[in-house]
Amino acid sequence: MINELMIIIFAPLLAGVLAWIFDVKGIREGVAIIGAAVPLAYLIQAYQTLASQPSIQYSIVLSGFKFEFILYHLSWVFAMIAGVVGFAAVLGMVSTAKDSYEWLFALMSLTGVYGVFLADDLISFFIFWEIMTFASFMMVLKYNRKASLKYFLLSVLGAYAMLIAIGIIYAKVGAFDFTSVQRVFYQDAMRSVMGSDTLFSRNELLLIFGLFLTAFGVKAGTFPLHVWAPDAYSETNQSYTAMFSGVLSKAGVYGMLVIYILLGTRLMYEFGNIGAAPKFGYVIAFLGGITIIVGGLLAALQEDIRKLFAYSSISQIGYILVGIGVGTALSIEAAIYHAISHALFKGLFFLIVATIIHRTGKTQFKDMGGLAEKMPVTFAMAFVAILSLAGIPPLVGFASKWLIFEAVIHQNMPILGGMLFFGSAIGFVYLIRFTYAVWFGQRPTELDDTKDAPLPLAIAMGILALLNVVFGIAPGIVAGELNKIFGKEIIQGTIWELNLGFGRYNGLFITIWLVVGILIAAVIYFLGAKVRRVPVTDTYQAGNPVTMDYNLTIRRNFFLPLKETLAFWLRMSFDRLYQDIGSWVEDLAETLRHYIYNGNVQAYAWYLAAILIILALWGV
Amino acid sequence: MVDWRLFEPLFEFARRKSLWIVAFCTGCGGIEMPPLMTSRYDLERFGMMPNPAPRMADLFLITGYVTPKTLKRIIITYELQPDPKYVMAHGSCPLNGGVYWDAYNAIKHLDKYIPVDVIIAGCMPRPEAVMDGINKIMEMIEKGTADGWKRYKENYEYYRKNQDELFGEGWREKEARRWIPWLMDRKKEE
Amino acid sequence: MMVIETALKALLILLYATFVGFMFMGIIRIVTARIHRRVGPPIYQPILDTIKLLSKKSSITHGLIYDFGIIYALGATILALMFIPLGGVSILRAYGDLILITFLLEIPMLGIMFAAMSSGNPWAGLGAQRALLTLLAIQVPLGFAIVALGEFYGTFSTYQIVMAQQSMGWSITSLPLLLAAVAYDLVLQAMFGKEPFDIMIAPGEISLGPMVEFGGKHMGILQIQHAIALFAETLFFSNIFLGGAVITAFASPIINTLATLVVLLIKQTAVLMVAIFIGAIFPRFTIDQAARFYWKWPTIIAAAGAILAAL
């Protein structure tokens, strides 16, 4: 009992180390699956404990520092995301992992995520954050050095920002644990209401907020700090990306929630509200809105399947940030709901991508096509994932998106509402591109003997697809858990129904009537003449004959008109901006080395003399 | 599954009154289509509609002379159409070559290659004549004599033999390998 | 008993919607013909077309998705229909959430796109591309219009919005929602697939785009789907902007219902007429022109409406 939290956190790491040491095929996979399954089992068990008591706590003292861990409803929900999607990703890695190196760091990053979610003080939060970053960096490093360095640089930026913020907080508060920090900021808020002096001045508060926002924004992939994500997500084992995008990005989202928990009250009183929503949240929400649009538009223009889903992941994170930014209880619940569904459908998508790449060895859209016939199981999974991401009722993607829409629009935020609508359309757009280029059309001849998904991947995809459907038809299951976080019935209704008072969504009715509608359509269909199966070459091309020798399916530049329409905007790129800054810094260093630090002793003597003269003139 | 014979008169009526046209406007007859479609003669009165996709077409109009190159496309387009389908040929050229009776590169007898239900005589037939032809095909559908699609199925070997004699065996694949590279290479030049 | 009653009601609504939808399609063709100074087909022509297509004696398929996409499109349209308030008779009007219906009206297109793309025809791919970009273009003004409605009424229930209009007057009598209605009506033009936004179908240019491979019963089912979608879209517009109709003046509930349907029918026809008139006199936009158009004026109008509604 006492070590429950420690087992949850360290079981994956232990399994990873064991898998690394016993580098035998078969054993390492088994150990890794056990390592991912144990925390999940403990978390499921902890659900019953949490029903009777508000939280499970544990602390250890190591060389003067007290590390505190806590499992309560919020962290349980996030840990369950990590547990389920992490488990599925590990199952997927059974098929795709090449060596024990990957096992070690994949499971290490899982440990890091669990640690972040369960930490109850800033120091352990930071340490596990860094473990997570380091492990995922190592996963990318093995595949692509440049992408990993970009990821590393931005992560280091985030880490320093977080460290400085933690330092400022510690200097004033004198404690690391969340409870004390939260209490101090709460008292500060009360003091500022009274008009008396506060511990943190307005500017310090703003600085801490900005630093935390940078730190968590990097991990979540917020615009304009998203540039690492497309490269890092695509240049690694795609099964691992299911975890990377599905779970690790949630650490950034969780971080945003930590801002609310620690600084929320103070920030709200200091900067005031717009309507019912806090002003500081607007920053997060608007960044989220821009993230949706930028990520989505760029996703539609990608030519690489991994890049497409990397950008789409960024875009979908934007929804979560909008929900968090609006800052009402409902919108935060909606955001957490979308975090769950994002993990489910995005994890599923990256496993599908892993399967495709594993089986075909191709990553570019131009090399694919017509795979639906060859990989029916994977295609069925992709169908579920596409419907879920596009927000088609009755799947989980719709339930959570619907909640975010309602929460945002109900707070009278027209511009954010428009951004959300645009985001849902752009979702359709890039998904159709993926569907058309990969699954349909003429198949290149070298893909003719492609096999369907290997069993572990199929199981992993099956788990996630099932949850996508179940949580969509019965959204109340999730809503019930989310209500527990706030301790009140914010989303009412039964397990089939979400009832907000000003809007209702019933997953069961939609399912029933969709089935009824499809049955009616099927009756009409089956009353008609018998169908004859024709090959893909038997299509109308203005009367011209078609042969399989030439592939007529549009694979490259599918959304060319969009590219042309957006030509002006596409010229701006934050990625290029950062690269330019990087090369300027490099040039500057080069100049300095050339003219000043040129290794000439005489020159150094002159500098010394000049400084002495300046000091003398100054009158020292 | 269900015995639809009871509804057959209704279906016949619908088929007669809703002819969707794929017009193969290669020859000069194509110019007769605009007056037919627009306010002068207005074919839509009879439920007819021009339609670019052969998969949902009923009436196939061959408007003018046919060359081997176009005949290949005509045959492919014809085979794409679902049954029942009707073919109507404009003018004397598809009937017997017309003014091209001695041309080396025109098809003199279209009905050797695909079954033709109605041929409108004239060079060129006036829109009134075309309307008369349409009236005729509607009557034939009503009587059940517009059975070109049945004849094509029954005598497929005959038509296939004539086509292959003209173009040579495997002409579809050969043609496909010819036109696609032509299209693709042109793209590369850009 | 409840189940039978619901089923009967659903069947009647479905038959009514299909019938009126086909009449609308007929009206579109007749009115366009009259604007062209033609006689035009009889009003029941779309029904004959559908019967003819369904009675075709041969039919092709390009695989399971090709069939399922079509069935899914019709099923999803029927689903959407059930959620839109039809006076006092609709079945799921309590769940007729604005955003849900907006999404439900879009998903039949996804089914059609899946079916079209699975045929492997390049025209279909091109059509899918155009359809999606049109969707992307219309989504911004559409979103703002829906946002304006949600903010103005403070509720997302379509039925409550209809009821509110019975006492407050039609939505379009207030300025923010008038702006939203104008933008939504421009969007409706693209949702109907009428000129100048029939970019996705573009007959003669890309051979009907997504529809190029559908024939026989597939196209027949799509005709039915189109009829129901036409009914549902005009009904949704009449409900949210033109006051809907809930008539309780008569003693008999049956007469009340009939009167409601008649009032709704008049409003729907009015919405349709605007679309036909615009459609009959404009040529087709290219896709980037359409995107630029929708991202400029309708977006500005709708955003102004949404911001005014929020204040």
- Kindly state whether residue A541 falls inside one of the protein's structural domains: no
DSSP C212: G
C-alpha torsion sign, points A443, A448, A452, A454: negative
Q: Residue B177 and residue A552: Cβ atoms within 8 Å?
A: no
The answer on pLDDT for B188 being more than 60 is no
* A residues 282-311 closer than 8 Å to B (CB): none
Q: Taking CB atoms and an 8 Å cutoff, what residues of chain C touch A398?
A: 103
Q: Which candidate, A387, A348, A385, A353, places its Cα nearest to that of A368?
A: A353
Q: Taking CB atoms and an 8 Å cutoff, what residues of chain B touch C33?
A: 42, 44
Which among B11, B38, B81 has CB closest to C51? Answer: B11
- The confidence score (pLDDT) of residue A235 equals 82
- pLDDT, greater one: A316 or A61: A316
- Kindly state whether residue A427 falls inside one of the protein's structural domains: no
- Kindly state whether residue A230 falls inside one of the protein's structural domains: no
% pLDDT > 90, chain A: 0
Secondary structure string (H, E, C) spanning chain B: CCCCHHHHHHHHHHHHHCCEEEEECCCHHHHHHHHHHCCCCCHHHHCCEECCCHHHCCEEEEECCCCHHHHHHHHHHHHHCCCCCEEEEECHHHHHCHHHCCCCCCCCCHHHCCCCCEEECCCCCCHHHHHHHHHHHHHHHHHCCCCHHHHHHHCHHHHHHHHHHHHCCCHHHHHHHHHHHHHHHHHHHC
A529: closest chain B residue by CA = B1
Q: Provide the domain count of chain A.
A: 1
Q: Taking CB atoms and an 8 Å cutoff, what residues of chain C touch A520?
A: 14, 74-75, 78
Q: Taking CB atoms and an 8 Å cutoff, what residues of chain B touch C219?
A: 55-56
The answer on pLDDT for B106 being more than 80 is yes
- Kindly state whether residue A116 falls inside one of the protein's structural domains: no
Q: Provide the domain count of chain B.
A: 1
Q: Taking CB atoms and an 8 Å cutoff, what residues of chain C touch A439?
A: 118
A487 touches chain B (CB under 8 A): no
Which among A429, A532, A552 has CB closest to C136? Answer: A429
Domain around A611: 578-618
CA distance B125 to B118: 13
B173 touches chain A (CB under 8 A): yes
The token pair that represents A208 in the structure block: 């801490």
- The confidence score (pLDDT) of residue C22 equals 92
Number of H helices, E strands in chain A: 24, 7
The token pair that represents B119 in the structure block: 């041929």
| Other residues' Cβ atoms within 10 Å of the Cβ of residue C289 | 16
CB half-sphere exposure, A427, CA atoms < 13 A: 32
Going by pLDDT thresholds of 50, 70 and 90, the confidence category of residue A61 is confident
% pLDDT > 70, chain A: 99
The token pair that represents B106 in the structure block: 């025109």
Q: Please give the average per-residue pLDDT across B138-144, as a whole number.
A: 87
**How far is Cα of residue C71 from the mean position of the Cα atoms in its chain?**
18
Q: Taking CB atoms and an 8 Å cutoff, what residues of chain B touch C56?
A: 82-84
Q: Residue C55 and residue B56: Cβ atoms within 8 Å?
A: no
Q: ipTM > 0.85?
A: yes
- Kindly state whether residue A582 falls inside one of the protein's structural domains: yes
B5: closest chain C residue by CA = C55
Query: Rounded to two decimals, what is the model's pTM?
Result: 0.89
* A residues 473-532 closer than 8 Å to C (CB): 502-506, 509-510, 513-522, 524-525, 527-532
The answer on pLDDT for A179 being more than 60 is yes
Distances (CA, A) of A331 to A96, A257, A321: 38, 12, 10
Q: Taking CB atoms and an 8 Å cutoff, what residues of chain A touch B175?
A: 544-545
A373 touches chain C (CB under 8 A): yes
**Dmax over Cα atoms in chain C, in whole Å?**
60
The answer on pLDDT for B165 being more than 60 is yes
Phi, psi angle pair for A441, to nearest 5° = 85, -170
Reported as a single tens digit per residue, the pLDDT across B57-100 is: 888 888 888 888 888 888 888 888 888 889 988 888 888 888 88
Domain around B93: 5-189
Q: Taking CB atoms and an 8 Å cutoff, what residues of chain C touch B4?
A: 55
- The confidence score (pLDDT) of residue B66 equals 86
C120 touches chain B (CB under 8 A): no
Q: Residue B54 and residue A540: Cβ atoms within 8 Å?
A: yes
The answer on pLDDT for A330 being more than 70 is yes
- The confidence score (pLDDT) of residue A2 equals 52
The answer on pLDDT for A270 being more than 80 is no
A567 touches chain B (CB under 8 A): no
Angle at C270 between CA C264 and CA C272, to 5 degrees: 105
Which among B14, B55, B83 has CB closest to C51? Answer: B14
CATH number of the domain that residue B98 is part of: 3.40.50.12280
Q: Taking CB atoms and an 8 Å cutoff, what residues of chain A touch B76?
A: 543-545
Q: Residue A527 and residue B2: Cβ atoms within 8 Å?
A: yes
Reported as a single tens digit per residue, the pLDDT across B2-31 is: 667 788 888 888 888 888 888 887 777 778
Sequence-distant (6+) residues with CB within 8 A of B5 are none
Q: Taking CB atoms and an 8 Å cutoff, what residues of chain B touch C216?
A: 55-56, 82
Which among C59, C82, C136 has CB closest to A528? Answer: C59
Angle at C13 between CA C12 and CA C17, to 5 degrees: 120
Angle at A286 between CA A204 and CA C142, to 5 degrees: 165
Task: Note whether B77 and B54 are within 8 A (CB).
Answer: yes
DSSP A445: G
B54 touches chain A (CB under 8 A): yes
Distances (CA, A) of A3 to A10, A523, A576: 10, 59, 48
- The confidence score (pLDDT) of residue A1 equals 44
What would the DSSP string read from start to end of A15-40? HHHHHHHS--TTHHHHHHHHHHHHHH
- A interface test, pick of C90, C109, C117, C286 with most A CB neighbours within 10 Å: C117
Q: Please give the average per-residue pLDDT across A135-140, as a whole number.
A: 85
Q: Residue C216 and residue B14: Cβ atoms within 8 Å?
A: no
Distance to chain C for B34, nearest Cα, Å: 13
- C interface test, pick of A413, A515, A518, A555 with most C CB neighbours within 10 Å: A518
Stretches in chain C below the pLDDT threshold 50: none
- C interface test, pick of A366, A539, A548 with most C CB neighbours within 10 Å: A539
Reported as a single tens digit per residue, the pLDDT across A427-481 is: 888 888 888 888 888 888 887 888 887 888 888 888 888 888 888 888 888 888 8
DSSP C171: G
- Kindly state whether residue A594 falls inside one of the protein's structural domains: yes
Reported as a single tens digit per residue, the pLDDT across A387-407 is: 888 888 888 888 888 888 888
- A interface test, pick of B2, B72, B85, B179 with most A CB neighbours within 10 Å: B179
* C residues 210-249 closer than 8 Å to B (CB): 211-216, 219
Task: Note whether C188 and C271 are within 8 A (CB).
Answer: yes
C115 touches chain B (CB under 8 A): no
- A interface test, pick of C67, C114, C130, C147 with most A CB neighbours within 10 Å: C147
Q: Please give the average per-residue pLDDT across A505-515, as a whole number.
A: 86
Distances (CA, A) of A495 to A337, A479, C20: 14, 8, 37
* B residues 23-52 closer than 8 Å to A (CB): 24
Q: Residue A414 and residue C288: Cβ atoms within 8 Å?
A: no
A501: closest chain C residue by CA = C155
- Kindly state whether residue A588 falls inside one of the protein's structural domains: yes
- Kindly state whether residue A441 falls inside one of the protein's structural domains: no
What would the DSSP string read from start to end of A44-70? HHHHHHHHHSS-EEEEEEETTEEEEEE
Sequence-distant (6+) residues with CB within 8 A of A373 are A443, C63
Q: Taking CB atoms and an 8 Å cutoff, what residues of chain B touch A545?
A: 72, 76, 172-173, 175-176, 179
| Other residues' Cβ atoms within 10 Å of the Cβ of residue A613 | 10
